[in-house]
Amino acid sequence: MSYTKDDIRSTLQATAPTVEVDPSTPIKPSQWIEFLNLDPSQTLPHGSRVWNARASNLVVSYAGARAGDVLERPGQIDEYCVLQYSESARIRVVASGETADVHEEAFVVVPPGDSRIEVLSDGPVIRLFSVRSDELRDAALNADAYEVPDVRCAPLGEWPEPVGASACGCTASRRPRSPPDASGASSAPRTSW
C-alpha cells in the first residue's frame, strides 16, 4: 500500500525487518497473565495497584488506579501510549509543558521525556511501552520468559520522529462522539494539545 507524501506512514520502511531463522526453531509458547490474581508490581500511595508484563517488543502496564495517584515517567526514553476505554479512569496527562484531561475513550501518545498521568477517578489505566524502558522491561512479572530472546520476533525498529506532536505535547485519537457522516467526518477528530 502506498501513502501520500504528507502521510507520516510514507516515511516508514517499505519492507518489514527480516529475521533469518532456522524453520525447525520452535515457536515460543504464548503466555496468559491474570494481573488481578498476582501480587502487583507496584502499589501507589492512594491504593493504585500496577502490574507490568512484557512481550518481545512491548511492556503492558495495567493499573487498577485510584483517584489522587500519579503515574510518573521521568526521563522516558521514547514515546508511550495510554489506551483509554469506556471503563477507564479519568486522567490528566502532563507532558512537554502542556496538560490535557482525557475523560473518554482515547488512544493517547505521550512524547518522550518527563510526563505524568494524574488519576482523577477510580478505574483502569492501560499504558504501552517499548522494551527500551529498561526498568519496566526487567521488572515485568514475566521477565524470565524473555531471558532468551525470541529469535522468531523481528527486532524493534526505529520509528520516524513525530511531526508536530513532540513539540506541542500529546496526541490523542478519540473515539467519535457521533457516527461519521457520509464523508467520514465525525464530531471528535484526532486532537493534539
Q: Find how far residue 85's CA is from the centre of its chain.
A: 13
pLDDT of residue 137: 93
Q: How many domains does the chain fold into?
A: 1
Span between the terminal Cα atoms of the chain, in Å: 30
Structure letter (DSSP) for residue 168: H
| Structural domain includes residue 34 | yes
| Structural domain includes residue 129 | yes
| Angle, vertex CA 69, rays to CA 91 and CA 115, nearest 5 | 60
| Structural domain includes residue 167 | yes
pLDDT of residue 11: 73
- What is the extent of the structural domain holding 123? 14-192
Mean pLDDT by 10 residues, the chain (193 residues): 70 65 84 92 97 94 98 95 95 93 92 96 97 93 91 77 53 56 50 40
pLDDT of residue 157: 76
| Structural domain includes residue 1 | no
The CATH number of residue 157's host domain is 2.60.120.10
| Structural domain includes residue 111 | yes
Structure letter (DSSP) for residue 15: S
pLDDT of residue 179: 54
Please state the pTM of the whole predicted model: 0.77
The DSSP bridge partners found for residue 123 are: 65
